[in-house]
Structure 1
Amino acid sequence: MLSSISMKLKSTYTQITLNRVTVAFFLFSLIHCFAQGVIQSFLFSVNSEFATLVTRIVQTAEIPLTNITYLEGSSNHWTLRMCNDIPHGQAKNPCMVVFQSGVDDVQPTPNLVEQDTVESQSIFQDLSQGFAITPNRNSLGNVTGVTFQPVAVPSALQATAASSVFLNQQCTQILAYPQQVLQNSVREDITFLFLQIWLLGVSTFALAQSSVPHILTALGTRFLITSWSAYIVIYRTNNQASTFQQIVSAPGTPCGVELFPTYFGLRQAYDIADLVLSCSALMLSGLLSWNLLKVYNAHSFKRVGAPAHVIRLYKYFMAVQAVLQLEVFVLVAGTSLWVAVLTGTGISKISAHTTIYKALIIATTVLVLPWIALGWYGVRREQKRMMISFLAIAFFFVTCWGIMFYSIVYRWSFLQWPYLGCFTVASFILIIASMILGTICWRNFDLGLAEYLNAESALASLNFAPEVFDHSDVEKSGHYYAYDEPEFPMPTFQKGGEGFRIAAPVRGPPPVYDRPYNANAPF
């Protein structure tokens, strides 16, 4: 066991240090994973801080967890509704309007609003020393608002700082929307942290196996990460800043206070740094991947030469591996995001079929690793029963998660959180792709791939030094061995006294993987 692991590590090290390109690709992947992880950690810290702030305000105001918010409209024409059920497909409208641009239902004291707007920024400028939030109640014991007071105000701001800020009940209801947005941002940051670790693993595996599909998978993943980062910088952060300013911070609104004086500045700075790093990583990764592809395409196999049709089947095998490795992250991440919605938001109180959803989540979690193993070893060993099980589980995933769209709760979450929607769509695409590639491999069983891989593994277990053989000239000839009958008589021998002749043993057919593809050979 230990010797096998040692040989695999040695083989991986050999492939990583094969030439300057492979070394550069590995170092680039490692350094980029660390740098991107640091930036994502900063984003997570900022989002967590302000998500915690808003969550404590909403909880202190005793806003029921069953209430979810629904924002519609456009800039300067927003309408924010608070609902105790999904706002679509219901016989009775479950929502009430808590904010509408240009309309103030609560009519707070103008002087108080003006004072808060001017001075609140100093209160929320630095929350590192902590803060206190206390509820204000009427004679009936109902919460009418909350008072926010920092534990300590920085000395540089003490001359202009207000001692506290009062947030009325309508304001705390409005803050339920920023709470949901910021909590989703925290979940996205956690997902991206794990994505960087996974991407490093795929890049290392691509080098260890000289896998073209894995290199393309890593490159495609970097492209998607860069596209999402560009979307964040160009549109989403600015849109959120504008929306929060119009419904929370603008004078005359029910809140009228600057709750996020430093948040969007820090967030935009980290987002830009993340985008710059992602763009540079994409370009450098593209350059290194191009050079690796030229090397790997010139030397398709590492240890034993093989004809063209086996090389083609081997590429399908590696493509199945690449899709499954990508799918294991996307499926688990998408399922985890749905779990977060189902357990950490108002959906947990609204959903009437939570038990069914949890059963599907548990089934997916239990089956995903066996499913990956069945697809991997089913193709690797050309086991038809494994492939049937693999395709059956894939069909189960597609069918059950497709039926989930019948649920209004799932459809609502899918539409309201684009990040969850992206992972869900990507998961469906990858499952279907794995089924197609698996079927192609199944149809080409018994054509020599398993024999080739077994021979390669046997040589690897003997610590055989990899050699690359160019068979292009031989393949063009259409055959690899000549099995014509010799012109001279085959030697025979007479077994003494028994009166019959036994032919000497003749050479058998070549290995399956070394036969011409679709050749009309007699064996």
Structure 2
Amino acid sequence: MFPKPATIFKSTYAAITLNRVTVAFFLFSLVHCFAQGIIQSLLYAIDSEFENVVTKIVHTAEIPLKNMTYLEGSPYHWTLRMCDNVPHPGQARYPCTVIFQSGVGIDNSPDAIEYDTKESISIVQDFTRGFDIVPAFDSNNTVIGVNVESSAAQSVFLNHQCAQILVYAQEILQDSTREDITFIFFQFWLLGVSIFAVSRGSTPHILTALGSRLLIAAWSGYIVIYRTNNQAVTFQEMVSAPGSPCGVDLFPTYFGTRYAYNIADFVLSITALLLAALLSWNILKVFKAQSFKRVGAPEHVIRIYKYFMAVQAVLQLEIFVLIAATSQWVAVLTGTAISLISAHTPEYDALIIATAVLVIPWKALGWYGVRLERKPLIISFLGVSFFFVSGWAIMFYSIVYRWSFVQWPYLGCLTVASFILILASMVLGTICWRNFDKGLAEYLNAEEALAGLNFTPEVFHHSDVEKSGEKTSHSFYEYEPDFPMPTFHSADLLGGETIRKGSLTPAPMTHSRSGSAVSEMSGIMPVRGPPPSYDKPYSIRPIPF
């Protein structure tokens, strides 16, 4: 029923190489995907490297895995608390204690030793030298901190309070590594959307790709302008500043290197946004000139077709966003203190598993339900959509979910975006449902029948008549000289339905190269269109899909 892979590949290649604009759009998408993917990989490498060091210090100091941090205030007015549960109203015991407050010395270890910060830099500045992190004990054989030992410098002692503060750094770095992984996959997903857009002439997918680049640029700008600098100031005050509980610069190269990568990522994002806007504008003009006159489809079919393409674009974007949001919540449930605090993890797991199992069938229900105009499929699609919306909305009754949503802005952004896209898909799907049996399915069947006969638009060009501005009484195709006239049963063309005048296509035509050819074959009709024109080249426009 649907085109063969070879036909799809041929059509995709032809659409990409249609003109200089489509070639430039494809090359731009490909080059930018790998360029920004490399930058994101470098960010992941440095984030994971320092996260491993901090995690080892925290574990060696025997900080309970159940403990997590809660930061309040602003730079130079911070209050950092360590909690063994999520703080919320109505608790019999407040689960948090202050472990750092700006301007106030809080040292839980009487054996704390101050060291020259400059001496400690050489221990962690060059990871190739290697260093060991071993526990430090008091006279009662109780762990009171850790010793960072290296052959290149003297041992540095980090007390228990310092190790508690580093739990906050550990959480920040863990969140950063998860974001980096998501953005690496996002670049390749965006490449796929861009290729699909240009190969199928899809305006909604072009706009989806452009909107995605706008969001990437906005997030990159937020990181460069605010977040990285804010984190650097906070870490400096809590960990590196002389007189702080640690008094050791554990991140001597981290923020400088990361900031350089962030700037490169931001420049690439802005450049990609501007180039994508320019190329999208030009390629949309090509689509506008070549679209919406496919196989003589009437205006109301074109309008329904736009909603169909919008549903497809929204579903494709939602697949990534929903999977990304779900995977980030899984990471929180399995790799943070929430895993030991959560009292309803089985219920969360059930929703996560249901989402993972249903997300692909859900997309298929939406796509095929609209494409084939099947009411049971579209009803099932809307039912699953309602399950997603209601299921994840109920999650906000969970204290640990609300806590994670607020404490990690990236998870919050993904969650909000997934809700918006699901609701948009439900609205668009309902609009398509209301327009069933108005010609879209028959029209798409005709397109696929032509594609199955290798009736691809890339082998044709505009006619001289159209270029001169003349109009004929037909809105169909004109064939090249000696191009064979394909014929087939009307039942095969439209899935067993008879072509009726006034529905989508005109009554069966009887013309062909030879008038006797059709009369001798009962039940056979040629493809729609006027008789072959021997004095004009073929005229056709690419079919957006």
The bucket for the TM-score relative to the shorter chain is 0.7 to 0.9
Check conservation: 1:54, 1:175, Cα contact below 8 A.
yes
Query: 1:264 maps to what in 2?
Result: 255
Question: How many Å apart are 1:12 and its aligned residue?
Answer: 0.5
Question: How many Å apart are 1:187 and its aligned residue?
Answer: 0.2
Q: Tell me, yes or no, if structure 1 residue 10 matches structure 2 residue 10.
A: yes
Query: 2:96 maps to what in 1?
Result: 95
Check conservation: 1:137, 1:143, Cα contact below 8 A.
yes
Question: How many Å apart are 1:118 and its aligned residue?
Answer: 2.9
Query: 2:161 maps to what in 1?
Result: 170
Give the secondary structure class of the aligned counterpart of 1:164. Answer: strand
In 1, Cα distance between equivalents of 2:384 and 2:398: 22
Check conservation: 1:116, 1:165, Cα contact below 8 A.
no
Q: How does 1:314-353 map to 2 (within 5 A)?
A: 314-353=305-344
Check conservation: 2:108, 2:160, Cα contact below 8 A.
no
Question: How many Å apart are 1:120 and its aligned residue?
Answer: 1.5
Q: 1:309 aligned to 256, 281, 300, which one?
A: 300
Q: Tell me, yes or no, if structure 1 residue 406 matches structure 2 residue 397.
A: yes
In 1, Cα distance between equivalents of 2:149 and 2:470: 82
Question: How many Å apart are 1:104 and its aligned residue?
Answer: 1.5
Q: 1:381 aligned to 372, 387, 392, which one?
A: 372
Q: Tell me, yes or no, if structure 1 residue 204 matches structure 2 residue 205.
A: no
Check conservation: 2:112, 2:157, Cα contact below 8 A.
no
- Tell me: CA distance 1:108–1:353, structure 2 relative to 1, closer, same or farther (3 Å): closer
Q: Give the aligned residue type for 2:136.
A: N
Question: How many Å apart are 1:142 and its aligned residue?
Answer: 2.1
In 2, Cα distance between equivalents of 1:251 and 1:111: 14
Q: 1:417 aligned to 373, 393, 408, which one?
A: 408
Q: 1:240 aligned to 205, 211, 231, which one?
A: 231
Query: 2:126 maps to what in 1?
Result: 126
In 1, Cα distance between equivalents of 2:293 and 2:210: 22
In 1, Cα distance between equivalents of 2:230 and 2:424: 35
In 2, Cα distance between equivalents of 1:444 and 1:480: 24
Q: Give the aligned residue type for 1:448.
A: G
Check conservation: 2:296, 2:475, Cα contact below 8 A.
no
- Tell me: CA distance 1:121–1:109, structure 2 relative to 1, closer, same or farther (3 Å): farther
- Tell me: CA distance 1:389–1:124, structure 2 relative to 1, closer, same or farther (3 Å): same
- Tell me: CA distance 1:79–1:3, structure 2 relative to 1, closer, same or farther (3 Å): closer
- Tell me: CA distance 1:180–1:508, structure 2 relative to 1, closer, same or farther (3 Å): closer
Q: Give the aligned residue type for 1:436.
A: V
Check conservation: 1:448, 1:514, Cα contact below 8 A.
no
Check conservation: 1:149, 1:163, Cα contact below 8 A.
yes
Check conservation: 1:480, 1:514, Cα contact below 8 A.
no
Query: 1:496 maps to what in 2?
Result: none
Question: How many Å apart are 1:271 and its aligned residue?
Answer: 0.1
- Tell me: CA distance 1:480–1:108, structure 2 relative to 1, closer, same or farther (3 Å): closer
Query: 1:300 maps to what in 2?
Result: 291
Give the secondary structure class of the aligned counterpart of 1:312. Answer: helix
In 1, Cα distance between equivalents of 2:166 and 2:36: 31
Query: 1:491 maps to what in 2?
Result: none
Query: 2:74 maps to what in 1?
Result: 74
Count of residue correspondences: 477
Q: Tell me, yes or no, if structure 1 residue 278 matches structure 2 residue 265.
A: no
After superposition, what is the alpha-carbon deviation per residue over 1:177-226, rounded to whole angstroms, capped at 9, x for unaligned?
00000000000000000000000000001011100000000000000000
After superposition, what is the alpha-carbon deviation per residue over 1:356-380, rounded to whole angstroms, capped at 9, x for unaligned?
0000000000000000000001000
- Tell me: CA distance 1:407–1:462, structure 2 relative to 1, closer, same or farther (3 Å): same
Question: How many Å apart are 1:512 and its aligned residue?
Answer: 2.3
Query: 1:360 maps to what in 2?
Result: 351
In 1, Cα distance between equivalents of 2:277 and 2:499: 47
TM-score (norm 2): 0.84
Q: How does 1:494-509 map to 2 (within 5 A)?
A: 509=500
Query: 1:57 maps to what in 2?
Result: 57
Question: How many Å apart are 1:107 and its aligned residue?
Answer: 7.7
Give the secondary structure class of the aligned counterpart of 2:348. Answer: helix
Query: 2:450 maps to what in 1?
Result: 459
In 2, Cα distance between equivalents of 1:141 and 1:109: 14
Question: How many Å apart are 1:304 and its aligned residue?
Answer: 2.0
- Tell me: CA distance 1:307–1:169, structure 2 relative to 1, closer, same or farther (3 Å): same
Check conservation: 2:119, 2:154, Cα contact below 8 A.
no
Give the secondary structure class of the aligned counterpart of 2:295. Answer: coil
Query: 2:145 maps to what in 1?
Result: 145
Point out where structure 2 has 5 or more consecutive residues left out of the alignment. Answer: 477-497, 507-545
Check conservation: 1:120, 1:165, Cα contact below 8 A.
yes
After superposition, what is the alpha-carbon deviation per residue over 1:232-268, rounded to whole angstroms, capped at 9, x for unaligned?
0000000000000011111111101101000000000
Q: Tell me, yes or no, if structure 1 residue 214 matches structure 2 residue 213.
A: no
Q: Tell me, yes or no, if structure 1 residue 448 matches structure 2 residue 439.
A: yes
Q: Give the aligned residue type for 2:422.
A: I
In 2, Cα distance between equivalents of 1:437 and 1:289: 23
In 1, Cα distance between equivalents of 2:191 and 2:101: 47
After superposition, what is the alpha-carbon deviation per residue over 1:274-332, rounded to whole angstroms, capped at 9, x for unaligned?
00011000000000000111111122248523111111111111100000000000000
In 2, Cα distance between equivalents of 1:326 and 1:93: 42
In 2, Cα distance between equivalents of 1:241 and 1:2: 55
Question: How many Å apart are 1:2 and its aligned residue?
Answer: 12
In 2, Cα distance between equivalents of 1:53 and 1:257: 14
In 1, Cα distance between equivalents of 2:102 and 2:3: 70
Q: Give the aligned residue type for 1:284.
A: L
- Tell me: CA distance 1:510–1:75, structure 2 relative to 1, closer, same or farther (3 Å): same
Question: How many Å apart are 1:141 and its aligned residue?
Answer: 3.1
- Tell me: CA distance 1:129–1:304, structure 2 relative to 1, closer, same or farther (3 Å): farther
In 2, Cα distance between equivalents of 1:41 and 1:239: 22
Query: 1:488 maps to what in 2?
Result: none
Percent of paired sites with the same residue: 67
Question: How many Å apart are 1:129 and its aligned residue?
Answer: 3.1
Give the secondary structure class of the aligned counterpart of 1:124. Answer: helix
Q: How does 1:95-114 map to 2 (within 5 A)?
A: 95-106=96-107, 112-113=113-114
Give the secondary structure class of the aligned counterpart of 2:72. Answer: strand
Q: Tell me, yes or no, if structure 1 residue 229 matches structure 2 residue 220.
A: yes
Query: 2:240 maps to what in 1?
Result: 249
Q: Give the aligned residue type for 2:209.
A: A
Check conservation: 2:11, 2:456, Cα contact below 8 A.
no
Q: Give the aligned residue type for 2:254.
A: Y
Q: Give the aligned residue type for 2:427.
A: I
Query: 2:489 maps to what in 1?
Result: none
In 2, Cα distance between equivalents of 1:382 and 1:26: 32
Give the secondary structure class of the aligned counterpart of 1:41. Answer: helix
Question: How many Å apart are 1:3 and its aligned residue?
Answer: 8.6
In 2, Cα distance between equivalents of 1:128 and 1:54: 17
In 1, Cα distance between equivalents of 2:293 and 2:166: 60
Check conservation: 2:36, 2:265, Cα contact below 8 A.
yes
After superposition, what is the alpha-carbon deviation per residue over 1:340-396, rounded to whole angstroms, capped at 9, x for unaligned?
001000000000000000000000000000000000010000000000000000000
In 1, Cα distance between equivalents of 2:404 and 2:112: 40
Point out where structure 1 has 5 or more consecutive residues left out of the alignment. Answer: 154-161, 482-506, 516-523
Give the secondary structure class of the aligned counterpart of 2:154. Answer: coil
